[in-house]
A and B are shown apart, each in its own frame.
Chain A
Amino acid sequence: MNDINDTIIPEPVPEYPDWRKDAKTLTNAGLSEEEQDWFCDARPQPAKKSWQVMENFLNWARSNSLWILAFGTGCGAIELRPLITARYDISRLGMQPRPTPRQASVFMIGGYVSIKTLKRIVRSYEQMQGPKFVVAVCSCAINGGMYWDSYNTVKRIDEYIPVDVYVTGCMPRPEAVLAGFSKLKELIKGGKAEGQNLYAEKFDWYKENQKRVIKDWNMPDYNW
């Protein structure tokens, strides 16, 4: 028996640093040299606003041209499809689904967020260009919902990326999602939807929270 045990190859040591020990280290050092070239090395900076009249006009334009990146993490994602159909038709409000995070301005998280999904959420959120807004749909995204004591589900998505509007319900009807979007529009027009700047200001806090739950952190810290 001992002979067999001796021949077992030990597990390879991961090349990236152990983030659990030093959660505040922020670099792209965990990546290979080739990959480091693909990502930005600068921290996010809070964006400056233009003068107020201009900003009001731009906020009006932003609120009337919401491009949605729908992240179908859970069952809530199915509520986006009726919104596109003739019955609810969000395009009349200037909204349209956008399949790439680069062009989207609203990140719609539809449902529970498992830790595996959280990685993808963080990467997609960081790839979006600001100002960007987040709408979390379903109770699971708010307090874990029926997954509240699950070992691999995040309870409050708010701790990992800034959320502008929550839509409650399990699952919320399309009308509720629409109401959430009109609330978001109000916030944008009032200049209160500044999640992007919040994320930049509290970047260390968000990263620390993300790294606390994501155990195998093999992705860049700066995803833009």
Chain B
Amino acid sequence: MSITLKLIWAFISLGVVTVWGLTLNGIVQKIFARVQGRLGPPVWQPFIDIIKNNAKRTAITHGIMFYLGPVFRIAGGIGTYMFIPVIFGSVYFSNFSMSGDVLLVMYFIFFGQLGMALGAGEGGHPYSAVAVSRGLAQMTAFEVPFALSVISLVAQYGTLNITEIIAAQQGGFLQWTLFTNPLAVIAAMISMLGMNMYNPFSVVIAPQEIPIGPPTEYHSSFLGMLATNRGIFAGAKLILFMNLFFGGATNLFSLMLKTFWIYMFSVFVGAAYPRFRTEDSIRFFLKYPTAIGIISILLFTL
């Protein structure tokens, strides 16, 4: 396939994952509302919010980094997504997965957050700075078990290439990493709780004490961009987890089914548990999931 055609298909799949990610966000809002005994917003509410934010007539800026913050964030989201094969075996939905491996994807997960931290810092709002410091501290902590679990996978399959990792899991659900290397999956799923920032790790966004976290100063189309990225990034992360631990997907339907239930794991935990403080969540991540991750590495290397 020529590079142009590949690019076109990559952008089509980007559109698909954006819509799916935003729909998932809408479903999650609905589920949280039902748990709290409310009706909740309609499932398509994230789309309306994005339209409205982009349709704001005025916007102000605080400087160049303020502009670049959301750009870096969405670049991180798209970059994460572009190097993940979406549907295993499909030439159209494989993105640029042959050009980068899981380490590059992990880098992109981090990249957007750092760019956002710089942009939010220039906003000058003290709440942004507090939330950024909380967010970066927590992110550094949950990266440890996730990295350990990826290292364990590399030791297990002997490759960093995501497509090869999916290929090794084909042939029945008992071949999934979930069953062949359960400890690594447990460590990674716990770190996903931190990534998705629902309870008990929601102190970064902290809707009550620190209004909406780092993007306190972001508004209008900046916020629309960040909200779009929520969809892309959520979809990209879920597809990455599905690829690494749940055998990938061979068609769009199984992709939707698997990503939905992977997401529901953090939603159910979030709906049921109260919140950790930052230092508690760091301590938690560096304790149990890290230990589990180290054991899973030892099992495959010794």
- Point out residues on A near B: beta carbons under 8 Å: 38, 40, 47-48, 58, 61-62, 64-65, 85-86, 89, 91-92, 94, 96, 98-100, 102-103, 105, 129-131, 196, 224
Contact = CB atoms under 8 A, between A and B. Distances in A.
B35 to A, nearest CB: 11
Interface of B: 29, 33, 36-42, 45, 48-49, 51-53, 55-60, 124-125, 127, 207, 211-212, 215-220, 223
Nearest to B125: A100
A99 B211 contact: yes
B44 to A, nearest CB: 10
A94 B38 contact: no
B181 to A, nearest CB: 41
Nearest to A200: B58
Contacts of A58: 51-52, 55
A38 B60 CA distance: 11
B40 A92 contact: yes
Contacts of B59: 129
Query: Chain B at the A interface: mostly helix, strand, loop or mixed?
Result: loop
B42 A129 contact: no
A102 B216 contact: yes
B284 to A, nearest CB: 27
A157 B52 CA distance: 27
Question: Which residue, A38, A64, A91, A224, has most C-beta atoms of chain B within 10 A?
Answer: A91
B23 to A, nearest CB: 16
Contacts of B124: 38
Contacts of B220: 129
A97 B133 CA distance: 25
Contact of A89 (B38, B127, B217): B38
A224 B58 CA distance: 10
Nearest to B221: A129
A131 B57 contact: yes
A65 B38 contact: no
21 contacts: A47-B58, A62-B52, A64-B52, A65-B52, A85-B38, A86-B36, A89-B33, A92-B38, A92-B42, A94-B48, A99-B212, A102-B217, A102-B219, A103-B218, A129-B56, A129-B58, A129-B59, A129-B219, A130-B56, A131-B56, A196-B57
